[in-house]
Chains A and B, each alone.
Chain A
Amino acid sequence: MSADLITGPAVVATDTPTREERRLSPPSFVSAAWLIARKDMIVELRTRTALLAALALSLLSIVIFNFAWDPTAVAAIDLAPGLLWVIFTFSGLLGLHRAFGVEQADRAMDALLGAPIPRTAIYAGKAIGNLALVLLVQLVSIPAALVVYNLEIARVIIPLGGIALLAGIGLVAVGTLFGAMTTSTRASELLLPVLALPFFVPVVTAAAQATARLMGGRPVDETIGWLKLLAAYDIIFVVACAFAYTVVADE
């Protein structure tokens, strides 16, 4: 797939032959992944289906949970960390399903698989697109939750962003692969959460525990174990799922 499909006609250049050669040669791993991620993000920003649905679900859940417990009996600081991560997990699932779902129309997936790019680049591109969606949802809903639950913002917001990034990578690494696996099955929307949620357990546990310690003002070394667990999960599952995708996409 050439860059022209997305960026429009190439600018006229002086050294025509080399440019033409470069245009016809397959893109490198990074540029192929970036092209796919960029295409997905543009499609998502133009249609906004998954983004708005995930955002609405996330914000609605924050509001609903507020009425599901008695704030005079249980302090928000005790419940909020767990709630936030459960909410992100479920709202993330909405987006994960879409990444490969959009390629079903007109058998676009076949063209993508036929492109002269490594399969891992397709996985990386889809994962980057998903990560952007998940982080965008968190970017809106974390401050929203801190505000409506009356939690301290200034001190926690930056480290919380770090936890969100680490957890987001883990969720997306596994979720993107399972999204690819379930789109080609019957009852795919039902199957994705059933497959993905058990794999999200370590991520949600670690992220919620780290968030709770952060909000509770505990010393940093109490959080570091959980952060290490998140980082290890990210590294291992990014590698394992990228390899697994090459097996899954092997037609």
Chain B
Amino acid sequence: MSLTTSTARPTRTIDGLLLAGLFAVAGAVTRAIWFTPVELRQGLAQKIFYVHVPSAFIALYIAFGLLAVSSALYLWLRDPRLDRMAESAAEVGLVYMSVVLLTGPIWGKTVWGTWWTWDARLTLTLFLWFVVLGLLLLRQSIEERSMRARYSAVLGLLAAILVPFIHISVYLFRTLHPRPIVLKPSAPSLPGSMLTTLLISFAAFLLLFVGLMRVRYRYATERDELLAAEGME
């Protein structure tokens, strides 16, 4: 993804990368549903795994990480591009977190027998969803650009500090959520074909994420340029 978009480029209505991401996700879902073996005990409900796990990883590690890092760097460098990066990561990350929070209960109801449980990971994801929503609401309610960027960066950085505290406080409650089965010290305990589907799915959702980020970032750049040209700053 390019950080610098040229100034005079006309807005394209369809972004190639975004389109590729959408097709990749459609392909990955097709493979997950029809060309991957059905899990023995969980049945068809386990197919949610191929959407839920990549979305969770991208939302919590990549999108939230980007938000935290670009917020911290903004406070240091005061580069408006970092602010646009944080804005885009927050918004696209919120969409991915919403996917996680919507697919999770459907899977949980069929497998655990309950829509929701106050387990460490679920609670952390839910509260990050609230924090990011609050950050976007804060951004929306500030007109002046540099003030908006500073406040948003402060909140983004504080949110990163908050994560371990929420994690510790909810971890002391008993947890239902499975331990990692792919990214763990020993070999992945997932059958080969399922692992392939998961990795394909992960790549597809990542491509979609990059596509969405690119479009969202370009929108922010063009909006700021337009506002600057109109002398509204």
Does A181 sit at the interface, judged by CB under 8 A?
yes
B: number of interface residues (CB 8 Å): 26
In the complex the two chains form, is A201's CB within 8 Å of B168's CB? no
What are 12 inter-chain pairs, A to B, with CB distance below 8 A? A184-B147, A188-B141, A195-B138, A199-B131, A199-B158, A199-B162, A201-B169, A202-B169, A233-B165, A236-B165, A244-B157, A250-B150
Q: B158: which of A186, A205, A226, A240 is its contact (CB, 8 Å)? A: A240
Q: C-beta contact mask, B61-98 vs A, less than 8 Å → 1, else 0?
A: 00000000000000100000000000000000000000
B138:A247 contact, CB within 8 angstroms: no
* A194 to B150 Cα, complex, angstroms: 18
A→B interface (CB under 8 Å): 174, 177, 181-182, 184-188, 191, 194-195, 197-199, 201-202, 205-206, 209, 225-226, 229, 232-233, 236-237, 240-241, 244, 247-248, 250
User: For the complex, would chain B's binding face be called helix, strand, loop or mixed by DSSP majority?
Assistant: helix
Q: Is the CB of B170 within 8 A of A198?
A: no
B137 contacts A191, CB within 8 Å? yes
Chain B residue at smallest Cβ distance from A239: B161
| Cα–Cα distance between A144 and B168 once the two chains are bound (Å) | 32
Chain A: interface secondary structure?
helix
Complex contact A202–B137 (CB within 8 A):
no
Residue of B130, B142, B157 touching A185 (CB-CB under 8 A): B142
Q: Counting chain B CB atoms within 10 Å of each CB, which of A191, A198, A209, A237 scores highest? A: A198
Cβ of A240 and Cβ of B166 under 8 Å apart?
no
Looking at A184, A191, A195, the one whose CB has the most chain B CB atoms below 10 A away is: A195
Decide if A181 touches B127 in the complex (CB within 8 Å).
Answer: no
Given contacts A177-B154, A188-B141, A199-B131, 7 further A-B contacts (CB under 8 A): A186-B142, A195-B137, A198-B134, A209-B172, A237-B158, A240-B157, A247-B75
